[in-house]
Each structure stands twice: as C-alpha cells, then as structure tokens.
C-alpha cells in the first residue's frame, strides 16, 4: 500500500477513473486541484517521454510519488499519426478550444480510399518517486476507423473508433463498457498489479 499519490492532472474525468482504479492500493490520492503542480509543456517526442516529464516535475515540486499520463490515437496507414499530437490536431487556428469533428475529418481525408483503416489508442502512465525511482505502464486497444463518426457518449476520437471484436464505436458504447477494455484501463491494471507488490 502506498501512503500518498499525486495525480498530475486537472482533468476531472481522468482523476476519477485513475483514483477509482487505484483506491485499494493508495491511502490518500491527491490531484492537481488539491496541491500545486507545475504546468509542463509536452516537448518530448514519445508518449512515455511526455508522461515522464509531467510526473517528474510533479514529484520534484510536491516531494510525493506522482502519476502522470499521456495518450492518443495512432493510425497505422498514417505512420502512427496523430499520435502524440492527437489533442493538437483538434485545435483550431486562431480560436480557443478543440474541434474533434474537424480532427476526425482530417484523418478520414488523409486515409482517402486506403483499405487499411486500422488504428490503436495508447495510454502511457509514468509513476515517479521523489527519490528518482521511475516506472512506466502502457495499455493499448486495437481497432478500426469508420466514416461517418457515430455516437455521442465518449470524447475525442471515440465516435470513429470501433475496437477489434466489437460492433459499436467507443462513442456508442456505454462508458462502463469502454472503461473495462480501454487503453487507459489496461495501463491502470498494470499499475495496480505493481502497487499490489509495493510494501
């Protein structure tokens, strides 16, 4: 059992999902809303690199074990794009906010008539201790991209992603069902396994 853990994000959805999954293994879970956590620019060129940047900065500032994540959609026929730029592809030039209809449209346009519409979501969690100990946990879910997008239950690229072996997009699926199979759930399950052994 870990005494304290800081989740280095203000994203409430992520905090709830991570805290729910880790509650058996951590006595007190804090988030960036409870404790001052530095804002970090994601300057690395990999998911793990960016997750580590955020977790290291948080561990240094708070002197507590810190958890950060980075995630995205990788499209095989596009060489893994949008990848670490998944959020950025939805940013509108000169305007605030994000438009994922636009970002999904970019992907579909770039795929054109390509028969390979396979893609995967990936989530990487970085756990960093104040003494410098570091661990990485990765989860992936494979699937295919459909057009037009369908469903309004999820977020981001969910409406165009059909997980392998399923008929519905992540956007059509009940949130509990997505939470059981998602990339983030898989990474969290690996982290839970690790924390079970943590004295």
Q: By CB under 6 A, is residue 120 in contact with ligand IMP?
A: no
CA atoms in the 13 A half-sphere facing the CB of 127? 19
Least Å distance between CB 65 and ligand IMP? 20
Q: Is 70 a catalytic residue?
A: yes
User: Which range in 25-33, 59-67, 70-78, 107-115 contacts ligand IMP by CB under 6 A?
Assistant: 70-78
Q: Which stretch binds ligand IMP (CB under 6 A): 56-64, 126-134, 142-150, 156-164?
A: 156-164
Cβ atoms within 10 A of the Cβ of 30, count? 19
Question: Going by C-beta distance under 8 Å and a sequence separation of 6 or more, which residues neighbour residue 197?
Answer: none
Please give the torsion angle defined by the CA atoms of residues 74, 111, 179 and 176, in that order, rounded to the nearest 10 degrees: 170
What is the rounded distance in angstroms from the CA atom of residue 48 to the CA atom of residue 134?
11
User: Binding to ligand IMP by residue 182, rule CB under 6 A?
Assistant: yes
Instruction: Decide if 45 contacts 22 (C-beta within 8 A).
Output: no
Closest CB to ligand IMP among residues 22, 100: 100
Bridge partners of residue 120, in order along the sequence: 74, 142
Q: Using the rule CB under 6 A, is 78 a contact of ligand IMP?
A: no
Residue 149 touching ligand IMP (CB under 6 A):
no
Q: Which residue lies nearest ligand IMP, judged by its C-beta?
A: 156
Catalytic residue among 34, 70, 108, 152: 70
Q: Are 149 and 171 in contact (CB under 8 A)?
A: yes
Binding site for ligand IMP (CB under 6 A): 69-73, 86-87, 121, 154-158, 170, 182
Supply the residues annotated as catalytic: 70
């Amino acid at each position: 059992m870990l005494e304290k853990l800081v989740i280095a994000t203000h994203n409430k959805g992520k905090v709830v999902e991570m805290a729910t999954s880790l509650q058996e293994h951590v006595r007190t879970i804090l988030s960036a809303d409870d404790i001052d956590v530095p804002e970090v620019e994601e300057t690395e060129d990999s998911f793990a690199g960016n997750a580590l940047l955020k977790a290291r900065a948080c561990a240094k500032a708070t002197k507590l074990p810190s958890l950060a994540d980075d995630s995205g959609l990788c499209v095989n026929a596009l060489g893994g794009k949008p990848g670490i730029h998944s959020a950025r592809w939805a940013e509108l030039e000169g305007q605030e906010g994000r438009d994922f209809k636009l970002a999904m449209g970019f992907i579909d346009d770039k795929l054109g008539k390509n028969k390979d519409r396979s893609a995967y979501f990936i989530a990487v969690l970085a756990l960093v201790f104040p003494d410098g100990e570091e661990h990485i946990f990765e989860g992936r879910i494979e699937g295919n991209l459909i057009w037009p997008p369908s469903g309004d239950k999820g977020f981001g690229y969910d409406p165009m992603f059909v997980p392998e072996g399923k008929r519905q997009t992540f956007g059509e699926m009940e949130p509990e069902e997505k939470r059981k199979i998602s990339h983030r759930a898989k990474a969290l399950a690996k982290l839970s396994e690790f924390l079970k052994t943590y004295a």
